Amino acid sequence: MRQIALIDANDKANYVQWFRNSSPYINAFRDRTFVIAFGGEMLADAQFAPLVHDLALLNSLGVRLVLVHGARPQIEQRLNEQGIKLNYANDIRITDDEALKCVKQASGSVRVEIEALLSMGVSNTPMDSADIRVASGNYVIAKPIGILDGIDFQHTGEVRRIDDEAIHTHLDEGAIVLLSPLGYSPTGEIFNLTAEDVATAAAIQLQADKLIYLVDNDGVSDGQQLIRELTLAEIEKLSLSEQAKDIQKCLHSAVQVCHSGVPRTHLINRHIDGSILLELFTRDGLGTLITAESFEDTRQAAIDDVGGLLELIEPLEDEGVLVRRSRERLEMEIDHFTVVERDGMIVACAALYPYVKEKMAELACLVVHPDYRKQNRADMLFSYLEKQAKQDGINSIFVLTTRTAHWFQERGFNEIDIKKLPMEKQALYNYQRNSKVFMKKI
């Protein structure tokens, strides 16, 4: 309390605002699984101790954390000390017997250092008393890369599978799981892996909600500025050779995980204090976010969709969740609708009604077919609409709802007074229905 009293009024207001803005994310992240990968360079970075603090914080908020560390600089240092040269072919390390010894030592010492830092808790911070348990072990099963183009890669391997059961057990107990870039084969051999390979496999097999890479720069750049959001289709159009090597690897990984159902990959700058919190708990984040957005086929609705749309929304109109729309009204307003079509069936829809003068738009009729819920479809559809609205110069989206308030609040919408709505909309407000009004700046 004393500390709060010392901050000036301005800081207090900012703090309260920040906390309020973060709360939807805090709720949304509870029990979610995040795989967070960083190179061995991170350990030497001034931001490593603050990062550990932030990981402890995420852990205490109920986020299920799997950390994947690299050890490249530590391995290279050991090899140099012993005068061993690491050979590469096709950009892949060849790990001979001598190199494997260095890999084992380096990975072991990095792992122990991370475990020590995490066990220290976060002294002299408000998280001082947080006990963090770290679980590491033989959770990565690997196989040799083998011989490629006549070159034997020896102890360099690739992930065969992840022991997801063991990892989930530890996560269920509230522990943080730490994975090293080493894998074990059922024959008892050890293989040198890349952290990206381990992180990719872990994210896919654990069906993580997010894969987060802490990288050396701000994220993916178009040569001039940072690209904040990328879809898979946009990645295909990128000239990958213009990106830094580590970014190329992360993008390759992001594409793989997205195709396998991991909805979001984040690339964030490891040199910025609190970068992980800024990325996760602020609306715009600070790095590059990669989403599948395959949208199945997400497209503007056409007149032929009216039948499918009615099938989707009528049950909810009957329940009173949605305002009833006649077929005629739907036909007239069809241009405002966006639908998600899967194998010829409309599985989700939403409508956006712009108020151009006020730079606002109303989101309405957001529905996912009950058989297709629980797969982030509404989130994806909403970000699709948000992107479109932004392109059309809209600054904020509002929604009137009677039964779905929390869903919107958890996604950054705040309740507002009806008077803040465009006059035209205020005039149509149905006082009997008594919907709450929420708005989100985009």
Ligand X SMILES: CC(C)(COP(=O)(O)OP(=O)(O)OC[C@H]1O[C@@H](n2cnc3c(N)ncnc32)[C@H](O)[C@@H]1OP(=O)(O)O)[C@@H](O)C(=O)NCCC(=O)NCCS
Binding positions for ligand X, rule: CB under 6 A: 316, 321, 364-368, 373-374, 376-379, 401, 403-404, 406-407
The phi, psi pair for 107, rounded to 5°, reads -65, -40
Nearer to ligand X, 213 or 413 (CB): 413
Provide the minimum distance between the beta carbon of 276 and ligand X in the complex, in angstroms, as a whole number. 21
Provide the minimum distance between the beta carbon of 31 and ligand X in the complex, in angstroms, as a whole number. 8
In contact, 309 and 330? CB cutoff 8 Å: yes
Provide the minimum distance between the beta carbon of 21 and ligand X in the complex, in angstroms, as a whole number. 19
The phi, psi pair for 65, rounded to 5°, reads -110, 130
Nearer to ligand X, 215 or 385 (CB): 385
Q: What spatial distance separates the first Cα and last Cα of the chain, rounded to whole Å?
A: 34
Provide the minimum distance between the beta carbon of 342 and ligand X in the complex, in angstroms, as a whole number. 13
Nearer to ligand X, 268 or 313 (CB): 313
Provide the minimum distance between the beta carbon of 255 and ligand X in the complex, in angstroms, as a whole number. 23
Segment (H or E) for 78: helix 72-81
The 3-state DSSP class for residue 89 equals strand
Whole-number Å distance between alpha carbons of 284 and 270: 17
Tell me the sheet residues that pair with 183: 191
Angle formed by the axes of helices 195-205 and 245-259, nearest 10°: 20
Nearer to ligand X, 28 or 278 (CB): 28
Tokens 């993580």 correspond to 208
Nearer to ligand X, 267 or 360 (CB): 360
The phi, psi pair for 434, rounded to 5°, reads 60, 40
Provide the minimum distance between the beta carbon of 405 and ligand X in the complex, in angstroms, as a whole number. 7
Provide the minimum distance between the beta carbon of 428 and ligand X in the complex, in angstroms, as a whole number. 16
Provide the minimum distance between the beta carbon of 91 and ligand X in the complex, in angstroms, as a whole number. 40
DSSP string, 230-293: EEHHHHHHS-GGGS-HHHHHHHHHHHHHHHTT--EEEEEETTSTTHHHHHHHSSS-SSEEEE--
Whole-number Å distance between alpha carbons of 141 and 187: 10
Nearer to ligand X, 161 or 406 (CB): 406
Nearer to ligand X, 309 or 365 (CB): 365
Provide the minimum distance between the beta carbon of 285 and ligand X in the complex, in angstroms, as a whole number. 20
Provide the minimum distance between the beta carbon of 382 and ligand X in the complex, in angstroms, as a whole number. 9
Nearer to ligand X, 208 or 367 (CB): 367
Whole-number Å distance between alpha carbons of 315 and 271: 51
Provide the minimum distance between the beta carbon of 348 and ligand X in the complex, in angstroms, as a whole number. 7
Nearer to ligand X, 115 or 333 (CB): 333
In contact, 24 and 199? CB cutoff 8 Å: no
In contact, 140 and 198? CB cutoff 8 Å: yes
The phi, psi pair for 140, rounded to 5°, reads -110, 115
Nearer to ligand X, 227 or 378 (CB): 378
DSSP string, 281-295: HSSS-SSEEEE----
Contacts of residue 91, Cβ cutoff 8 Å, sequence gap at least 6: none
Tokens 């000239």 correspond to 239
Nearer to ligand X, 132 or 368 (CB): 368
DSSP string, 299-344: EE--GGGHHHHHHHHHHHHHHTSS----HHHHHHTGGGEEEEEETT
